[in-house]
């Protein structure tokens, strides 16, 4: 049975083992192999800077084994945005609904936190991941961005927070609205938000994890 809960420093060993089990992810995102210090970055909110945002690293467990990670922060880079720094499923557990459960959890927390849009960044060369998020209603916000680890270009995608499922409709979740149905955001606000993401991704010790792994 899949269970989700927030992780803390006491879960570091499990997070390290999870990251080291999928070196392809770090190579795609950072042009390097994963290292144990990556777990410390994920467990910390320091990479998001000071502010009133609310950060959590959520783990998906199956029979006590960590099979998925969700790095999310509410109220960053804008007060009504929920940013997904990572949605990552263990290679052996993909296409088993783990990613869908993590995304549904992120959506619920975004609704509960008063956020109106979800935002994430994807490594531009990872076309499979971009197509994955596009199928889930995410649309490009910017095509600019760079990481010193390559450098690797990244793109920012966003989507309105979907409405809560209607219990009267046999538990069917409301489909996400098309791009543009979310909160109106001025070009200046969009550029400022993308600038904050880009600056964060350029920091050598950044906790930023582009959602480069296709999660199903």
Tell which wins on pLDDT, 84 or 145: 84
Q: What is the pLDDT of residue 124?
A: 83
Contact 129, 213 (CB under 8 A): yes
Q: What is the pLDDT of residue 50?
A: 85
Q: What is the pLDDT of residue 211?
A: 55
pLDDT grade for 192, boundaries at 50, 70 and 90: low
Query: Considering the chain, what percentage of its residues have pLDDT values greater than 70?
Result: 72
Task: Give mean pLDDT, residues 96-111.
Answer: 95
Q: What is the pLDDT of residue 149?
A: 36
Separation of alpha carbons 128 and 126, rounded Å: 6
Backbone angles phi, psi at 187, to 5 degrees: -55, -35
Q: What is the pLDDT of residue 213?
A: 45
pLDDT of 180 > 80? The answer is: no
Average pLDDT of the chain to the nearest whole number? 80
Separation of alpha carbons 137 and 89, rounded Å: 20
For CA atoms 165, 167, 169, 171, the dihedral sign is: positive
Query: Considering the chain, what percentage of its residues have pLDDT values greater than 90?
Result: 53
What is the pTM assigned to this prediction?
Answer: 0.78
The residue count of the chain comes to: 216
> Which residue bears the tokens 């969009």?
190
Q: What is the DSSP letter of 120?
A: E
Give per-residue pLDDT as tens, 112-144.
999 999 999 988 888 888 899 999 999 998 645
Tell which wins on pLDDT, 28 or 178: 28
R_g of the chain computed on alpha carbons: 16
Q: What is the pLDDT of residue 148?
A: 39
Separation of alpha carbons 154 and 147, rounded Å: 8
Tell which wins on pLDDT, 5 or 146: 5
Q: What is the pLDDT of residue 30?
A: 84
Give per-residue pLDDT as tens, 147-163.
433 457 788 999 999 88
Task: Give mean pLDDT, residues 198-213.
Answer: 42
Tell which wins on pLDDT, 84 or 215: 84
């Amino acid at each position: 049975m899949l269970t989700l809960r927030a992780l803390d420093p006491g879960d570091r060993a499990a997070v390290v083992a999870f990251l080291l089990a999928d070196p392809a992810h770090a190579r795609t995102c950072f042009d390097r192999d994963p290292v144990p210090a990556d777990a410390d970055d994920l467990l910390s909110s320091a990479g998001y800077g000071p502010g009133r945002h609310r950060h959590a690293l959520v783990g998906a467990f199956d029979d006590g084994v960590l099979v998925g990670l969700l790095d999310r922060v509410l109220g960053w880079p804008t007060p009504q945005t929920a940013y997904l720094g990572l949605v990552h499923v263990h290679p052996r557990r993909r296409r088993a609904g783990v990613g869908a459960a993590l995304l549904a959890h992120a959506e619920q927390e975004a609704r509960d936190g008063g956020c109106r849009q979800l935002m994430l960044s994807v490594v531009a060369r990872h076309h499979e991941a971009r197509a994955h998020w596009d199928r889930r209603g995410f649309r490009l916000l910017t095509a600019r961005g760079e990481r010193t680890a390559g450098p690797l270009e990244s793109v920012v995608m966003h989507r309105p927070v979907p409405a809560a499922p209607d219990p009267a409709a046999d538990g069917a979740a409301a489909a996400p609205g098309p791009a543009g149905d979310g909160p109106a955001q001025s070009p200046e606000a969009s550029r400022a938000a993308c600038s904050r993401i880009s600056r964060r991704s350029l920091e050598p010790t950044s906790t930023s994890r582009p959602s480069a792994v296709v999660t199903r």
